[in-house]
Amino acid sequence: MALHGKEKVGVLLVNTGTPSAPEPKAVKRYLAQFLMDKHIAPMTRFIWWFILHFAILPKRSVASAEKYRRIWTPEGSPLLVTHKALAAALEARLESEGFDAPVRIAMSYGEPPIKKALRDFCELECDRIVVLPLYPQTAHSTTLSVKDGVARAVRRAHWKGDTTVVEGYAEHPSYIRALAASIEHAGFGRQPGDRLVFSFHSIPLVDIEDGDTYELQTGSTSLHVADELGLDRKTWTISYHCRFDNARTWLSPFTKDTLARLAEVDDGRTFIVCPGFSVDCLETRFDVEIEFGDLYRESLRAAGHPADDSRFVYVPCLNRSRAHVRALCDVLRPYLGEGERHHE
């Protein structure tokens, strides 16, 4: 285990997941695992299984595969490629601060699974594990699913060391500064009339009734970033996207409606940022950047306004940026003990 009294702590970054290829068969396999999660499924497991496999997946896997092809890279899934780069950069930074903390990635659904990371940590003879779900704002459908997945993997791997799951970091100063800097870097505020939309993945209101504090966290993150940027309240708003079904009531206002409303006012550019996503994925790269961009320009034209591409600006996720690596390092540092030199 630890050598010379120095503790080795395995760091596990967990996100939702990605199909292995932009093909219907691979997408169907991924979605079947994802949408059968008890924290995601909209009804009892038995009934939902039949609806999902016979009514939803046959069509959705084909449609989603086409979307994935639009954003796929030569190296593979952009989500997976960026996660690997982020993990490598974070490990290097932690090492530079004197921490013996190997970093691995895992997905709640698809590859690589959590159990593989646990095997790696066992082989590396780690003393304990710190799990960081890459969801700044916690939710039953995301962070709680990670906790369940980690608990199952720990039992099956017979891991005997301590395992700590980091709760969300919606208000962490380093995360807030990194978000604000990314918005400024995208050009926000350089022209009169610029407006900012904070768009988060929606959740069913039943989850909030069950104690989910996600809505409060999204509001807190947005308010802190707006304060960091010194924004007037009239220049920014919060909305939610990707409602999964119509059988349940979902957290709103919806981003599509917000963009349509903003397009009626021809007084500047609209920037949209997704603070709930650490790394760009299908939802941000396609649903938000492409589909919402097209929707916004169509709404501008319908209102009789110019609809050039510069009117809608998508702010990328923090991804593998140095600011993101620094923020995650700052979030993790209290869980890692003492390094061998002071951090910046």
Question: Does 270 score more than 80 pLDDT?
Answer: yes
167 is written with which tokens? 């709760």
The residue assigned the tokens 């709680």 is 144
The whole-chain average pLDDT of the chain stands at: 94
Q: For 271-297, what is each residue's pLDDT tens digit?
A: 999 999 999 999 999 999 999 999 999
**Confidence band of 247 (pLDDT split at 50, 70, 90):** confident
> Which of these ranges, 14-23, 206-215, 258-267, 323-332, has the smallest mean pLDDT?
258-267
41 is written with which tokens? 């499924």
Q: For 196-235, what is each residue's pLDDT tens digit?
A: 999 999 999 999 999 999 999 999 999 999 999 999 999 9
Mean pLDDT for 63-69 is: 98
Question: Does 187 score more than 70 pLDDT?
Answer: yes
Question: Does 342 score more than 60 pLDDT?
Answer: no
What is the predicted pLDDT for the residue at 57?
96
CA-based nearest residue to 288, from 249, 251, 324, 254: 254
Interacting residues of 330 by C-beta distance below 8 A, sequence separation 6+: 172, 173, 174, 343
Mean pLDDT for 113-142 is: 96
Q: How many CA atoms lie within 13 A of 130 on its CB side?
A: 21
Contact predicate 137/217, CB 8 Å: yes
Residue 210 CB burial class (10 angstroms; 0-12, 13-18, ≥19): exposed
Dihedral angle, C-alpha 245, 19, 282, 298, nearest 10 °: -70
Task: Report the SS3 class of residue 29.
Answer: helix
What is the predicted pLDDT for the residue at 243?
86
**Confidence band of 151 (pLDDT split at 50, 70, 90):** very high
Q: How many CA atoms lie within 13 A of 239 on its CB side?
A: 22
Angle at Cα 65 formed by Cα 60 and Cα 70, nearest 5°? 130
- How many other C-beta atoms can be found within 10 angstroms of the C-beta atom of residue 121? 24
Mean pLDDT for 113-120 is: 95
CA-based nearest residue to 202, from 110, 274, 260: 274
